[in-house]
Amino acid sequence: MRSLPRFTGCSVLDGCGASISIYGKEVNVLKTYEALYIARPDVPDDEIQTIAKEVENLVTANGGAIVRSEIWGKRRLAYEVQKCTEGNYVLLRFESAPGLVARLENHFRLTDAIIRYLVVHFDEKTLRLEALQKERKEAEIRNSASAAAQSDDDDEEENDRPRRSRRYRDDDDDMEDE
């Protein structure tokens, strides 16, 4: 009779481990997530910084790694949330075990300053697409810079030639009224 896989170390559900052992083979369970949360508009900027640091510390303390953290600042909400029409947006991209998401959502729920939050999983396809778009943008910038340098050289060559004077309608010497 075949036995079920044996999980060693930390359980996947508690979010404290980065890998598990299945049939004696180490499997990485770190996944990429993105969390966007909105704090009340009346919360001062220094407290927004403190909340962001608390969330980052929660992620790193549970075996996760911060990929990107951005404070977008105060923006208008699409609709009223808890009698607020504006909110302070904070974006956090991180890598962690799946169990950390529940802890993070619980932290968001218990923090009074946070009025809305959303945590989404980034699949590999999305990450590859994002990297490809970044490469294309960098290549486009390089190509436009080289094209601009080349057009500057062409403009200098054109400026060396004498310009022809403009012809106007009234300057027709060939045709005279008869």
What are the domain boundaries of the chain?
30-123
Residue 154 pLDDT greater than 80, yes or no: no
- 8 A C-beta contact, residue 94 and residue 86: no
Mean pLDDT rounded to a whole number for the chain: 80
| Dist CA 169 CA 167 (whole Å) | 7
What pLDDT does 23 receive?
73
Average pLDDT over residues 128-156: 78
Average pLDDT over residues 12-25: 57
In terms of CATH architecture, what is 30-123? 2-Layer Sandwich (3.30)
What pLDDT does 15 receive?
45
- pLDDT tens digit sequence for 36-73: 999 999 999 999 999 999 999 999 999 899 999 999 99
- pLDDT tens digit sequence for 97-119: 888 999 999 999 999 999 999 99
